[in-house]
Structure 1
Amino acid sequence: MGFTFKQFHVDDFGCGMPVSTDSVLLGSWAPINHAKRVLDIGAGSGLLSLMAAQRNSLAIIDAVELDETAANTCVSNVANSPWAAQIRVHQQSIQQFTEATLATNTAGYDVILCNPPYFLNGPTAASNNRATARHALTLSFTELMQSCAQLLSTDGIACLVLPTVEAHSLIAAAKAVDLPLQLAVAVSSVMGKAPNRQLLLFSQQAAPADCIAEDFAILVQHGQYTDTMRRLTQDFYLKL
């Protein structure tokens, strides 16, 4: 099964979070055209890494995924893509990856991408991998943003997507580690409805000029994609 895009296929079997509109939005929106090093935190099936590789053929991409099953699926998706040489998959926690990377004094990342576990409380999913992917059980917002702050290059950016309610907690966690919010784009599912997700960009520098900064909706009232959504995703979705 999985999901087929214009230039690659993603099998999301065994991943806590399947291919989602949120990840497609983030992977299309994040300004990565000039990045040399990209980090995908909580890579899951590898969708964000594959989108980054398609958009930037020169970037070296590290995909970090804690869950063994998801990491194996990510390895397979990368191997079956045109960009196997660009993407390295690491099956470990971001906390472990951060510690190991800092120990080697490796240069920082130009772009960090993350569609993080976002539920801070409430009932968890029955399966362990889905619960881990959806709830902040093994990775708090504070730990996540601390890793981002430590792993970014001086002028690097961290781009994340979250439901609107949880975004406020993430912004506060980033502020606490001196990684200020530079841009927030509110996205609604249908034009005229209240935004239900936020595309967030954190950096010590101002947001890049090539980043889409206006709020937008995914669909117009009669179910078709808005012009902004088409512009963002036309290189990926088969029917655009």
Structure 2
Amino acid sequence: MKDEFTFKQFTIKQNLCAMKVGTDGVLLGAWAKGGKRILDIGTGTGLIALMMAQRFPEAIVEGIDIEENACEQAKENFLSSPFFNRLQIFHTSLQKFQSKLQFDAIVCNPPYFVNSLKNPDIKRAIARHTDTLSFNNLFHHSERLLKPKGELSIVIPIENLEEILTESYFSGFFTTKKVWVKTIRNKQEKRLLLAFSKRNTETEELHVSLFEEHNKKSEWYKKLTDSFYL
């Protein structure tokens, strides 16, 4: 895995981070609803925060992470980007994070391995397991930090859907969007893009694939990521 990933308007250095640039983060950053104040939970390299800053030119974007090296990496990537004056990084957990103002949008590519064998790399284990950020904590603290008309957007593997929906319901959230994502058109859906609101509205659903035959990008994926991929 290379230590640097170049997008159209910014570059991601990732030599200090356990979790590298991946499809999940790119999908979420290109898809999630924004606003004037955006919070990226578990920012890692800062990829999603940078994508949101690019998509929403008037937004102030704050990223938080409990891993010190990740914060240093995100800070480096923020400062080298054209959006540096609208980006902030905080070395803290979501549970301890405080903000005087609520956010229009919250985005999170959450740790999703529950009760599974830990990776011997402690940094990668922290990034990938729910021990440090349970789904309950994600929704409970997002409810605290999100404006009444704000939106929380996440990306998860399909197998976590039932638990996610349960935790969101008990925290007062309603599902507003579901995008079921296949890697290839004739394969099973593996991941979900989900959006939540404090308001009870009808859920929009979409079924998409990233690639057609012969590794050709689908029109949906191409249109979604055209502003980012070289």
TM-score grouping bracket, smaller chain normalisation: over 0.9
Q: Alignment partner for residue 17 of structure 1, among 16, 19, 40?
A: 19
- 1:60 is aligned to 60
Partners of 1:230 and 1:182 in 2: CA distance: 24
- 1:76 is aligned to 76
Given the alignment of the two structures, is residue 93 of structure 1 paired with residue 93 of structure 2, yes or no?
Answer: yes
Partners of 1:16 and 1:116 in 2: CA distance: 14
Partners of 1:66 and 1:93 within 8 A in 2: yes
Q: How large is the RMSD of aligned CA atoms in angstroms? A: 1.6
Q: Cα 1:207–1:81, aligned 2, differ >3 Å: closer, same or farther?
A: farther
- 1:5 is aligned to 7
Q: Alignment partner for residue 104 of structure 2, among 102, 110, 118?
A: 110
Partners of 2:70 and 2:23 in 1: CA distance: 18
Q: Cα 1:214–1:2, aligned 2, differ >3 Å: closer, same or farther?
A: same
Given the alignment of the two structures, is residue 40 of structure 1 paired with residue 40 of structure 2, yes or no?
Answer: yes
Partners of 2:14 and 2:73 within 8 A in 1: yes
The aligned amino acid for 1:79 is L
Partners of 2:73 and 2:135 in 1: CA distance: 25
- 1:232 is aligned to 224
Q: For each residue in 1:113-159, what CA deviation from the matched residue of structure 2 results, as whole angstroms up to 9, or x when unmatched?
A: 00000001211111111001111011111001111111110100000
- 1:193 is aligned to 187
Measured after TM superposition, the shift of residue 213 of structure 1 is: 4.7
Measured after TM superposition, the shift of residue 168 of structure 1 is: 2.0
Partners of 1:62 and 1:173 in 2: CA distance: 24
Q: Cα 1:219–1:144, aligned 2, differ >3 Å: closer, same or farther?
A: same
Measured after TM superposition, the shift of residue 175 of structure 1 is: 0.7
Q: SS at the partner of 1:196?
A: strand
Partners of 1:213 and 1:200 in 2: CA distance: 10
Partners of 1:15 and 1:207 in 2: CA distance: 38
Given the alignment of the two structures, is residue 222 of structure 1 paired with residue 224 of structure 2, yes or no?
Answer: no
Which 4+ runs in 1 deviate beyond 2 A?
205-209
Measured after TM superposition, the shift of residue 206 of structure 1 is: 6.2
Identity within the alignment, %: 35
Measured after TM superposition, the shift of residue 215 of structure 1 is: 1.4
Of Structure 1 and Structure 2, which has the larger fraction of its residues in strand? 2
The aligned amino acid for 2:105 is V
Given the alignment of the two structures, is residue 50 of structure 1 paired with residue 42 of structure 2, yes or no?
Answer: no
Partners of 2:40 and 2:106 within 8 A in 1: yes
Partners of 1:52 and 1:79 in 2: CA distance: 15
Q: For each residue in 1:32-71, what CA deviation from the matched residue of structure 2 results, as whole angstroms up to 9, or x when unmatched?
A: 2xx1100000000000010011111110111001100011
Partners of 1:39 and 1:208 in 2: CA distance: 25
TM-score (norm 2): 0.95
Partners of 1:183 and 1:207 within 8 A in 2: no
For 1:81-230, list aligned pairs within 5 A: 81-97=81-97, 100-101=98-99, 106-205=100-199, 213-230=205-222
Number of equivalent positions: 228
The worse-fitting range, judged by mean Cα deviation, of 154-163 and 115-124 is 115-124
Measured after TM superposition, the shift of residue 208 of structure 1 is: 11
Q: Could you tell me which runs of 5 or more consecutive residues in structure 2 were left unpaired when the two chains were aligned.
A: none
The aligned amino acid for 2:55 is R
